[in-house]
Amino acid sequence: MAHIPYRIGVARFILTGTISLAAFAAGAAEMPKDFVYLRDVEPTIQQDMRYAGSKNFTGKPAPGYDAPECVLARPAAEALKAVQADLRTKGLALKVYDCYRPVRAVAAFVNWANGPDDPQSKAIYYPNIPKGALIPDYIAPRSGHSRGAAVDLTLVPLGGDAKDRPVSGPCTAPQGSEAPDGSLAMGTTFDCFDGKSGVIASNITAEQNANRIALDDAMEAHGFKDYFFEWWHFVLANEPYPDTVFDFPILPRQ
């Protein structure tokens, strides 16, 4: 399959159309009935929900992430289940880092980006660009994640143990056959705000490029499209809520 960057449309921080305020208000208090916990649809997908803890660029849990759970609109979750089934035949599996993102978390990220520089975060997440340059390519006021059909993820060996190593060192640091968290080497770690994270990058190894293409092909085969600046970000092309963002909190599964 051709490896085509997702440059326009429903990319991570671009919301096309008009926000449905009625739907926004209705979704602010509780999870809509057609949203699901990924664990209930496909429990074998590993979850490393970075914004529910401190292992992210802000250094603390994001507002609205009250549980480390991947929540998605059902069509996106079902599509990920199909991706997982295909990958299983190749000895691979998915690991998700972020799924639905409450609007309140998006606002917190923007406030962080507009605030004073953060030397500790810079050393890890944006070592080569100034903090002010993170907007709009990496952080912006509106996120496709808030529509429930976008996901940040990577590939792991099938049956591999999930690793919870502290984030240390620059995200652009050289990788061997695997990333620090045990996922396949992609050339950068997740949420690396750097040109090296682009879908097309010339400064990664042939193995890392092959891993990115394998992820991209697996996702595109089931209706997802990539995002030019981030190899880990995908959105369901036929998303159920293209014009609606939500702000309900992510709560523990009952």
Cα 87 to its chain centre, rounded Å, is 18
Domains and CATH numbers, the chain: 21-236 (3.30.1380.10)
3-state class of 108 per DSSP? helix
69 carries an active-site annotation: no
User: Can you read off the two tokens belonging to residue 70?
Assistant: 């991947």
The answer to whether 156 touches 218, Cβ cutoff 8 Å, is no
Neighbours of 239 (CB within 10 A): 21
Question: E strands along 48-106, which residues?
Answer: 71-73, 92-98
Of the candidates 42, 220, 230, 239, the residue annotated as catalytic is: 230
Q: Cα-flanking dihedrals φ and ψ of residue 6, to 5°?
A: -95, 95
Cα 113 to chain center, whole Å?
A: 18
Per-residue pLDDT of the chain (254 residues; tens, 9 = 90+): 333 333 223 333 333 333 333 344 334 579 999 999 999 999 999 999 999 999 999 999 999 999 999 999 999 999 999 999 999 999 999 999 999 999 999 999 999 999 999 999 999 999 999 999 999 889 978 999 999 999 999 999 998 777 667 778 999 999 999 999 999 999 999 999 999 999 989 899 999 999 999 999 999 999 999 999 999 999 999 999 999 999 999 999 98
pTM: 0.89
Q: What is the DSSP letter of 179?
A: -
- pLDDT for 117-171, tens place per residue? 999 999 999 999 999 999 988 997 899 999 999 999 999 999 877 766 777 899 9
